[in-house]
Structure 1
Amino acid sequence: MSSQARSKFAESDDYIRDLMQQARGLPACGAPLSPQRRALLKLAGAGLVLGFYLPHRAGADAETPQAAGKASKSPVINAFVRIAPDNTVTVYSKAPEIGQGIKTALGLIVAEELDADWKRTVVEQAPIDAKVYGYQGAGGSTTIPRAWDQLRLAGAAAKAMLIAAAAKEWKVNPAEITAEDSRLSHAASQRSATYGSLAEAAAQMPVPDLATLKLKTRGEYRLLERRHRGVDDPRIVRGQPLFGTDVRLPGMAYATFTKCPASGGKVKSANLDEIRKLPGVIDAFVIEGTGKPTEVMPGVAIIAKNTWAAFEAKDALKVAWDESAASKDSSSQFSARAREHAKTFPANFDSNVGDVDKAFANVSNHAGKIVEAWYEYPFVAHASMEPQNTTAWWHDGIMEMWVPTQQPDRGKTLVAGTLGLPEEQVVVHQTRVGGGFGRRLLNDYMCEAAVIARQVKGPVLLQWTREDDFVHDFFRPAGYHQLKGAVDKDGRLDAWQEHFVTFTADGRQPASGSGYSSTLAYACIAPNLRRALTLMELKTPVGPWRAPGSCAQFFAQQCFMHELALAAGRDHVEFLIDAVNRDVPELAPKNPQINFSPARATSVIKLCAEKAGWGKKLPKSRGLGLAWCYAHAGHVAQAVELSVDADKRITIHRVVVAADIGLVVDVAGAESQAQGACVDALSVAMAQQIQLENGRVRQRNYNAYPILRLPVAPSVIEAYFVDSGFPPTGMGEPALPAMAPAVANAIFAATGERLRAMPFNQFGYTLAGQASAL
C-alpha cells in the first residue's frame, strides 16, 4: 500500500484503521504477524503474541491423510493470543462469525486453557491466511471440532511460557505456580504477578514442546460449559460497523450487477447510454463473465456514487437476454416427473443390507404390516438478512477485498483463478456475516466484485438487492421420496425401502445440497434396508442449505417412522428407541466425523420425551409430536406440543430440544442455536418454497417468502444437553432437521391428518395470529 493511501486511512475512524492494518498483515490491535516455524514472535513494548497451526485431520475435508500427516510434522507459528502490558488479553478468532456464536466460543476455548480473565479478554477477527491459521472457513457445524485441540494448545502454551518467565524471575519451581484470571501466584513465597507484567519476560522463553503440555480436565474448567454473552453483542446493539455492508473506504463507489433471471442467459443488448446519463451514475458496462454460476455469469454492472443512485439506475436498466441456453426448469414438471420415476424402483441400489424382498414377503405371510407413502419438499432459499456484498479494491497489483463469507480461503483461491492472479496478490479481510446458512459457502459475489473492481478506479462496494439475492440464490434442492416399510408381527421395524428422486447438474452425481448420504440411513435403521437414487437434470444453481440434506430428508424419514409405529400399534417413542438399538447397518463412510451411537441416540430420545411429558393426556385438538436425527455429528431429538382450531390455525405451545453434541463450550450460545434452528425450521415447514417456472424464480422477496415473525414464534423453546463426555461438536445445524417432522407428527396427533409435503400451508394450515403471512 502506498504512503499516500496509508495517510488517507490514518484520518479515518478506528474501524477503517483496523481493517487497513489487517491489510498490511497486522491484526486489528496492531501486533505484526511475522510467522516463524515453532518460534515466538518477539514484540518490543507490545507484550506477548503466541500461536501455532496444528492441522486437524478429522475435519480437513480438502486434505488427504498423507498431506495432513506431512503438515503435522512441520507446524507453523502464528498469532492466536496477545497479552498487553495492561493485562488485556486479545484472542484472535480464525473462523467467520455468521451468527453462530463462534467468535465467542473460540475465544473461550483459548481463554480457558490460558486461565485468562474473561472480563478483560478481547476477541478479534484474525487475518485471513491459511498458511498461518490453517482452515478458516465455517460450515457443516465443524468449526469447533476442527479448532478444539489447536486452540487449547495455543492457550496452554501461552500460559506455560508465562509460568516459565515467573519461575525464572522468582527462582521457584514452575510446578508450584498457579494461574487464575490472568494472574500467576506462588503460595509458598506469597508472590503474584499479572500476565501483562510478565509478558515481556515470557516473550524471551522458548515455545514449549506441545507434547509436554498438560491440558485441563473437564472438572477444572472455569469458563467452558457456562453461559456467556456474545463478544460482539454490545457493538451490534450500538449499531457499530461490523458487517460487510458497513465497510466504508475513502473514494469508494457503489455497484450493482444484473444477471439474466433464468440461469445461463447472456446479454444481447442493454440501454447503457441512457443509464450512464442518470444522476449519480459513474459508468455502466457489460461483463461477459466466466459462464460459471459459482464465479461470474454474464451481466451488466452499474457504478454509481451511492447505493441509491445505483439501485435507481438498476431499476431503469433494460436488458435484452439471449436465453437460448438458459434454464427452463419447472417445479411443477419436476414433481410430476418424479412421481413417474418413483413407479419403478431402480435396479442398481445405493444401499442394500439384508434381504428386503424376503422381509416384505415374510411380513405379508405372518400378520405383519406393510406401509407405503410418498413424501416431497420444495426448493428453498437461504434468505439471509444481509444480501450478498463485497468491497473490492484493485491497487498496486493487488485485489484487496472486504467480504462477509463463510469460506474466505476458498474465496481467495476462486478470485485468484477468476482474475488469473497468483493467490498472494489477493488479500481478503473477513467481516461479520449477516446470515449465511450455507449460501456464503459459495463466493460468486466475491468474484463479481473483483471483476468489476478491476475496471473501476478506487474501491467499490458491490451490493446485491434483496431481489438479486432470491433470484440468484443457490437453492436447497427439492426432493421426492417413495417409501415402503414393514413391521413384523411383534411390531418391530423389519424392512425399509427408499427411492429418492432428486437432481443432478452433471448427469452423474446428486446436485450439491441434496445431501444424499448413507449416514442419513441412521434415521431409518432396519435389519433389511434398501435405498436407491434417480437423478433429474437441473440447470438452476443449487447448494447447501442449513443442515444440508438432513434438513429435508429427515422430514420424510421421521414422519414415515411415525407412520410405521402407528401401523405396528406401538408407542412412537418406544418404537424409535427399539429401532436405533437394533443391529446397525454399516453404511457410514470411513470418516472420523461420523460418530453415530445408538446409546447417544437413545439418551436424547428419552430425555426429550421426558421433558416434553410424553404420554400425558392432552385436550381435544391438541397433539404432541416427536422426531430425532443424527446430523453433523450431533444426536438431537425434538418434541412439539401444539393445538389446531377449526380453521386449521396452529398454536405452538412448547418446543423441547434434547441434544448430545459432546462438551458444550458456551451454553448460552448453544441454547441460542437450538432456538434459532427451531424457528428457522418452522418457517420452512409452514410456508417457504421457491417455485421455478421457465427457469425463473417466482418468489423474489419476503412478501412471497414469509419469514417467521415474533407474534407467532413459539413462546417456549427449551434446550437440554446430554453430558456424554465426548469432545465438542457443532450446534448450528443438528437442531434443525427434526423440527419439521415433529411438527407434522404433532399435527397428525391433533387432527388425524397426515402431512406428507412441505410447506404445510398448502394444506390450509397457518400459524395462529398471522394467517396473512404464514
Structure 2
Amino acid sequence: MTVAAGLSRRSFLVASLAGGAVLTLDASIALAAPQAEMAADVLNAFVRINADNTVTIGAKNPEIGQGVKVMLPMLIAEEMDLAWDQVKIEQTDADEKRFGPQVAGGSTATPRNWLPMRQVGAAARQMLVAAAAKKWGVDPAGLSTANGAVLHAASGRSVTYASLAKDAASQPAPDLAKVALKDPARFSIIGKSKPGVDVPAIVRGQPLFGIDTRLTGMLHAAVVKCPAHGGTVASFDDAAVKAIPGVVAVLAVNSRLVPEGRQDTLLIVADSWWKASQAREKLAVKWDDAAVSGFSTAGYEAAAAKLIAAPAQVSLFKAGNADTAIAGAAKVVKADYDYPFLAHATLEPQNCTALFQDGKLEIWAPSQAPAGGRADTAKFCGLSPEDLTIHLTRIGGGFGRRLMNDYMVIAGQAAKALPGKPVKVLFDRTDDLRHDFYRPAGWHRFTAGLDETGALVALKDHFVTFGKDGKAIRAADLAPTEFPGPVLPNVDFGTSYLETNLATGWLRAPTSNAMAFVFQSFLDEVAEAAGLDLPELMRRTLGEPREVPGGRVPFHTGRARGVIDAVCRTAGWKGRKKGRGFGFYFSHLGYFAEVVDLSIADGVVRIDKVWVAGDVGSQIINPVNALHQVQGATIEGIGQALVNQKIEQENGAVTAGNFGDYSPIRIDAVPREIAVEWVKTDFAPTGLGEPALPPVIPAIANAIYSITGKRHRRLPLEML
C-alpha cells in the first residue's frame, strides 16, 4: 500500500534564480545555504548541492528515535545516485505546504514517503543529466550517473553535480509521476545499514532536544494544573509569588482541553525554571472541579462490571448469528479480560519554547504533529497559521504523547503575553505523568464456539470502554474488522461506554497494544479447548491466502500465515511447551508473529529470548535501524506486560507522581536476545515503529500460563 504524501510537482521543482550564488527550485526554500556554504546550490525543497560536491538533504519528519532523519534522506540519495559519504542531513522546519505531511505517528513515514522521496531524488537526477546532455550536446539516454557525477561512457567524460547544479535549474521540471526510478536490484544505499546521524552528538551530550533549547534572554515557565482533569481556574492569588525576586509574571492560559474562554493552566514565569517551579508552592488557587472530581479507578471497575453483564449498548460488527452458533457448539469457551490506563512516560518531559515579536510567533517544538500544533496555537493566540514559524527539535521520546501539542499551545500564549522575550515552558515529571493523554483502559467479555472438529465457528466480544454520546473517545475504540472477526462465519462485536474526565490519546501501537493481548490470549484458550496450539488454530482460521476486505486496509491471510510459519520455524516451535508462548498481530500495515521463552523464579518472570518474524513489504530500507525499532518495540511491550505500569485515579486526579509509582522497564528485565527475521513480500514497504510491539504481550501471557496453569487475564501480568 502507498499513502499519498501530498507533495505537488511544483513544491518539488519550481525553477527560479535566487540571488545568483544560490540556485533554488523553490523560491520559498527552507534549506537556504548557511554562511559556511554560500557557494551551495539549492536544487529543490529537499536538496542543496554544495561546492565540494557534497549534498545536503533535508529530513522533513520529526525525529523521535525512529530513525526517520536518516531513512528519508536515504530514499532521495539512492535515486540521485550519490555515495552515502557525500550526504549531509539537516532537519527542516515544519511547513507542510513545502514538504507535505510532517508527522511522526502511526508508522506512516515509510508508506507515505517511499515513492515521493524517491521521486524527488530521481527528478533531481534527471535535471542534472539533462544539464550535462545540453552542455556536451549529446543524447541524455547515453549518460549515466554515479557517486554524484554524470558520466558519458562514449567519450569518457564526467562532470560533478556541483558543476551542473546551476544549469540544471533551466531544465523543464519533470513530471514526478513519470520520472524513472531505479530497479531495486541496483540499490546501493537502500537496504544497507546507516547509523543515526545524531548519535555522535547524543553520546557527547550536545544539545539537540527541545529541552535543550537556549535563547538569549530566555524566561522559564512552570505549570500549575488542576489535579482533577478538566478542572478550570476559578480564582487565584499570586501576590506571594510575584513578591519573589526573579518572578516575571503569573499567567492563566487554556491548554485547549477546556472550552474557549476558560483557563485550565497557570504559568509561573521567572528568570530560571527552578525558581518558577519552587514558586508554585506559594500560589493560591481555587479550582472549578466539581464536575470532574468524582472519577476514580474503583468507580470505573464497579461501573464496568455492571455494564459488561448487560447487553451491549452499540453493535460494532455482526456476521451470521453468533448466539445460535454458540448455542449449538460442541464446545464453548468464555473469559473476561481487562487492561489499565497507561501513560506515555517519555524520558524528556513535555516542553516548548516560543518567542512573539512583531506580530509573529516563532516556536521551537519537540512535536510529532507540528501542523496540528500550528493550527491550535494560532487559534488560541489569535493569530493566522502563517504567522507561526515552527523549528522541529529532536524528541526525547514521543510514543504518541507529542501528537497532542498542548505544550505548544501553552507556550504560544505565554510568549504572546510577554512579547520580545523567549519563554520556555517545561513540565516536571509529576506534571507529565499526571497530565498526560492516556491509553484508555478497557474490559472484554469473550464467548467462543467450536464445532466437533475443533474449528472456531463463532465469536462474541462485549467491550466496555470509554465514550460519550454513543461513540468511543479518542483511542478507546475497537475496530469492527478486529481479527478473527472478518474470517469467521458468526461474529458479534458490541460495546458499552463509561464516562471519564481523563484526556486520552494514542500510545505506541494504539489500540493494538491492548487488543493483541486480549484477543490473542483468549484465542490461546480457544486453541487449548480445541486440542491445538495457537499457531495451528491461527493457520486453520486464516484459511487460504487471500485479501479480506474491510477496514482502512485489507487484511492478507497469506502474509499473516507467512510470519506465523517463519517464527515457528526459527524458534523451533513444536507445539505447546512449558515456558513458551506465541502471539500474532497485524498492526499499522505490518504483520508480526512472536515466540517468547521465559522462566519464573520466586514469582519473578524472566524473559529469556524472543523470536520475531515481520512482514513489512519488499524492502528493509535501513536494516540496522529496522532491527533496533523491532527490538525497542518488543522491549516496550514487555514493559507493558510485566512492569508496574497502570494509571490510577482518586477524586478525578491521577495518583502517580514519578517513576517510583509508574516504572519504565529496567535493563535487567530485558531479554538476552531478541532475534528478528524479515519475511519479504511483493508489497510496498511499510513502517516499523509500532507493529512489533503488540504480539509480545499475549506471547508472554500465554507462556506464563504454560508454566503456572493459571490464566492471567489482566495487565500488568502480576504474579500472585
TM-score by length of structure 2 reads 0.92
Which of 578, 586, 609 lines up with 2:540 in the alignment? 578
Give yes or no for the alignment of 1:700 onto 2:657. yes
Counterpart amino acid of residue 452 in structure 2: K
User: Comparing 546-555 with 270-279, which one deviates more in the overlay?
Assistant: 270-279
Q: Is the 8 A contact 1:524 1:557 kept in 2?
A: no
Taking the aligned partners of 1:542 and 1:342, their CA distance within structure 2 comes to: 21
Give yes or no for the alignment of 1:425 onto 2:384. no
1:361 CA displacement: 2.4
Which of 545, 558, 577 lines up with 1:599 in the alignment? 558
1:535 CA displacement: 0.8
SS at match of 1:184: strand
What corresponds to 1:303 in structure 2?
269
What does the per-residue CA deviation read over 1:265-323, in whole Å, with 9 as the maximum and x for residues that have no partner? 23344441111222432222434666628998423211111122122212443433232
What corresponds to 2:667 in structure 1?
710
Counterparts of 1:160-175 in structure 2, within 5 Å, are 160-175=126-141
Inter-CA distance 123–100: structure 2 relative to 1 (3 Å threshold): same
1:435 CA displacement: 0.9
Which of 397, 400, 414 lines up with 1:452 in the alignment? 414
Q: Is the 8 A contact 1:296 1:448 kept in 2?
A: no
Give yes or no for the alignment of 1:486 onto 2:449. yes
Counterparts of 1:181-196 in structure 2, within 5 Å, are 181-196=147-162
SS at match of 1:520: coil
Counterparts of 1:643-662 in structure 2, within 5 Å, are 643-645=599-601, 647-662=602-617
Which of 628, 635, 641 lines up with 1:672 in the alignment? 628
1:357 CA displacement: 2.0
SS at match of 1:519: coil
Inter-CA distance 80–704: structure 2 relative to 1 (3 Å threshold): same
1:46 CA displacement: 5.1
User: Comparing 299-308 with 387-396, which one deviates more in the overlay?
Assistant: 299-308
Q: Is the 8 A contact 1:164 1:174 kept in 2?
A: yes
What corresponds to 2:645 in structure 1?
688
Counterpart amino acid of residue 88 in structure 2: V
Structure 1 stretches of 5 or more lacking a match?
Answer: 1-34, 54-76, 765-774
What corresponds to 2:698 in structure 1?
741
RMSD: 2.4
Give yes or no for the alignment of 1:471 onto 2:434. yes
What corresponds to 1:496 in structure 2?
459
What corresponds to 1:62 in structure 2?
none
What corresponds to 2:7 in structure 1?
none
Counterparts of 1:317-466 in structure 2, within 5 Å, are 317-346=283-312, 348-363=314-329, 368-457=330-419, 458-466=421-429
Taking the aligned partners of 1:307 and 1:271, their CA distance within structure 2 comes to: 20
Q: Is the 8 A contact 1:39 1:206 kept in 2?
A: no
Taking the aligned partners of 2:363 and 2:491, their CA distance within structure 1 comes to: 50
What corresponds to 2:225 in structure 1?
259
Q: Is the 8 A contact 2:293 2:651 kept in 1?
A: yes
Which of 2, 14, 17 lines up with 1:42 in the alignment? 17
What does the per-residue CA deviation read over 1:710-738, in whole Å, with 9 as the maximum and x for residues that have no partner? 12211201111111021111111101111
What corresponds to 2:586 in structure 1?
630
Q: Is the 8 A contact 2:11 2:26 kept in 1?
A: no
Counterpart amino acid of residue 443 in structure 1: N
Taking the aligned partners of 1:123 and 1:238, their CA distance within structure 2 comes to: 19
SS at match of 1:682: helix
Taking the aligned partners of 1:718 and 1:469, their CA distance within structure 2 comes to: 34
Counting aligned pairs with the same residue, the percent is: 40
1:519 CA displacement: 3.2
User: Comparing 350-359 with 670-679, which one deviates more in the overlay?
Assistant: 350-359
Counterpart amino acid of residue 206 in structure 2: Q
Q: Is the 8 A contact 1:525 1:584 kept in 2?
A: no
Q: Is the 8 A contact 1:523 1:557 kept in 2?
A: no
What corresponds to 2:708 in structure 1?
751
Counterpart amino acid of residue 566 in structure 2: L
Taking the aligned partners of 1:392 and 1:37, their CA distance within structure 2 comes to: 29
Q: Is the 8 A contact 2:560 2:591 kept in 1?
A: yes
What corresponds to 2:474 in structure 1?
512
1:335 CA displacement: 1.6
1:78 CA displacement: 5.6
SS at match of 1:540: coil
Q: Is the 8 A contact 2:82 2:148 kept in 1?
A: yes
What corresponds to 1:117 in structure 2?
83
Counterpart amino acid of residue 648 in structure 2: Q
Inter-CA distance 613–463: structure 2 relative to 1 (3 Å threshold): same
What does the per-residue CA deviation read over 1:519-538, in whole Å, with 9 as the maximum and x for residues that have no partner? 32347842211100101111
What does the per-residue CA deviation read over 1:550-583, in whole Å, with 9 as the maximum and x for residues that have no partner? 1101100000010000000013211111112269
Counterparts of 1:208-287 in structure 2, within 5 Å, are 208-287=174-253
Give yes or no for the alignment of 1:615 onto 2:574. yes
TM-score by length of structure 1 reads 0.86
Counterpart amino acid of residue 468 in structure 1: D
Structure 2 stretches of 5 or more lacking a match?
Answer: 1-9, 29-42
Taking the aligned partners of 1:488 and 1:46, their CA distance within structure 2 comes to: 77
Question: How many residue pairs align between the two structures?
Answer: 695
Q: Is the 8 A contact 2:233 2:262 kept in 1?
A: no
Inter-CA distance 522–371: structure 2 relative to 1 (3 Å threshold): closer
What corresponds to 1:528 in structure 2?
490
Taking the aligned partners of 2:272 and 2:525, their CA distance within structure 1 comes to: 57
